[in-house]
Amino acid sequence: MFIFTEQDIKQYVQLNEKALEVVEEGFTKLAKKEVVMPPIMRVDIYDENGEVDVKTAYVKGKDKFAIKVSSGFFNNYKLGLPSGNGLMMLISTKTGMPEALLLDNGYLTDIRTAAAGAIAANYLSKETIDTVGIIGAGGQARFQLRALRQVRNFGKVLVYSRTAERATAFAKEMSEELNIEVIAAKSAEEVVKMSDTVVTTTPSKEPVIQAEWLHPGLHITAMGSDAEHKQELDVQVLARADKLVCDTKAQCMRLGELHHGVEKGAVADLSSIIELGQITAKEAGGRDNDQQITVCDLTGTGVQDTAIALFAYDELVKHNVGINVENKTIDGVII
């Protein structure tokens, strides 16, 4: 079995065109029913504002699949620690034996989540945009902005966080990294009204975007609501969307923005909701014109984890890195 460290993984796996390509392929295979993906298992650690998710998916034809353990502890910023962490295990689809541990500390989750955001924007955002809005100023907010840069050119970014100091630090860091103008906004309302494309990256338990702020041509990717108690969008935002997209209906009906919309009667016609994989598989269209308001609800799927873990494994083995732990046999039993 191979063991790969975060340092190994970061050296050879980046948020680039190939990473977006493998995650998009995963969504396409999901739409084509070539994926076996059970529901998410989650443990909530309410005392510490934390949660741990277990996600997995088997992609037909692949010789390995991933089981991913991912944690989000949202008070960690007070300790100077990232909120996200975790690891992935690759298991053989032929023998069931573990073949690799990817000790990524949440890095691969960041990559695959940001890739999904970029894929959504590539199909749903206007081709020409000037201003991007980011709500939330943590690690995933940074990855989302980097990923969006892969599919769209833009010259200005507005960022809002309930902690002004975090927004200011984000603006300084990302303006230097991307060589564009990044400004800390005073409110979420300012971000939405002044942006062409908005990405929400918060663990909020109440809406941070209101329907009256929407305007023609706006695209919103909401990726923070991945548990029943989380919500970033007022349900009327979903009702006003000309095109409503999600990563998987079944999961979003349980965890995402969609379940709030259905529960409160704002979303009645479930047949009109499109899964992202239907768009990548060319079974449905993305944005139709520059006046549409589009919304994509992302909750994070196991197929993304298997896709990025297999990609990482291939890259790492190709570069001959990692620790190879050989199995030992005692009385004919492999240990």
* Entry pTM: 0.93
Cα(67)–Cα(90) distance, integer angstroms: 7
Cα(183)–Cα(265) distance, integer angstroms: 36
Report pLDDT for 58: 98
Residues noted as catalytic: 68
**What 3-state DSSP class applies to 283?**
coil
The percent of residues above 90 in pLDDT, for the chain, comes to 90
Cα(161)–Cα(76) distance, integer angstroms: 16
Query: Is pLDDT of 332 > 60?
Result: no
Cα(94)–Cα(303) distance, integer angstroms: 18
Query: Is pLDDT of 335 > 80?
Result: no
Binning pLDDT at 50, 70 and 90, where does residue 39 land? Answer: very high
Query: Is pLDDT of 313 > 80?
Result: yes
- CA geometry: angle 135, 87, 42, nearest 5 deg: 65
Render pLDDT for 68-127 as a digit per residue (tens, 0 to 9): 999 999 899 889 998 889 999 999 999 999 999 999 999 999 999 999 999 999 999 999
Query: Is pLDDT of 334 > 80?
Result: no
Beta strands 2-5 and 98-103, pairing class: parallel
Cα(121)–Cα(126) distance, integer angstroms: 8
Average pLDDT over residues 189-212: 97
Binning pLDDT at 50, 70 and 90, where does residue 327 land? Answer: low
Dihedral over Cα of 197, 136, 177, 280: its sign? negative
Q: Which of 182, 149, 201 lies closest to 16 in space, CA to CA?
A: 149
Neighbours of 205 (CB within 10 A): 11
Dihedral over Cα of 83, 151, 254, 136: its sign? positive
Query: Is pLDDT of 176 > 70?
Result: yes
Report pLDDT for 224: 87
Instruction: Say if residue 198 is exposed, middle or buried (CB neighbours under 10 Å; 0-12, 13-18, 19+).
Output: buried
Neighbours of 58 (CB within 10 A): 19
Spell out the residues 6+ positions from residue 137 whose beta carbon is closer than 8 angstroms to its own. 159, 160, 161, 163, 166, 167, 169, 170
Report pLDDT for 326: 78
Report pLDDT for 333: 55
